[in-house]
Amino acid sequence: MKKLLVLSLISVLLLVGCEKENKQTNTNTPSNPTSNQTDNTAETKITKKGDTYTDEQLIELIKKYREENKLYNPKIFEVTAYNGNIVTIQVDDDMGDHLATSDWYYIDNRDGSGENFFGEHIQLVK
């Protein structure tokens, strides 16, 4: 049991370290081939429908945020919970036999503000 706990802790530390390293480096990967390239396409403005952003709009804003901050963009972005106006979005890759989670975001669907799993404040809409 103690060995399992130690192995779990080491795994979490490795994942956190890899995510921090991804924030500091700017490399092209097959799943994110344009991380070093300038996007010359017209910027798409995402506007609210009514008083709130839709789940799909929040996911697009998170993808844009991750690209702008040179973070790896996994394949799966999924809304997993609601708590009032706070929408929880989980960001994963499918590894075949398990999901590898890169981050969770807790975003207010009224203004696009919130935080990530590490408690860092983010503003998706400027």
Residue 53 neighbours by CB under 8 Å, 6+ apart: 46, 61, 109, 110, 112, 125
Q: Count CB atoms within 10 A of the CB of residue 125.
A: 16
1: confidence class by pLDDT, cuts 50, 70, 90: low
pTM for the structure as a whole: 0.61
Domain ranges of the chain: 52-123
Q: Count CB atoms within 10 A of the CB of residue 38.
A: 6
CB 68 within 8 A of CB 109: no
Mode of pairing for the β-strands spanning 86-94 and 113-116: unpaired
116 has pLDDT over 60: yes
11 has pLDDT over 90: no
Task: State residue 10's pLDDT score.
Answer: 53
pLDDT in tens, 29-87: 333 322 222 333 334 567 676 889 999 999 999 999 999 999 998 999 999 999 999 99
- Of 48 and 103, more confident: 103
For residue 10, the one-letter residue type is: I
- For residues 100 and 92, give the distance between their C-alpha atoms in angstroms, rounded to a whole number: 5
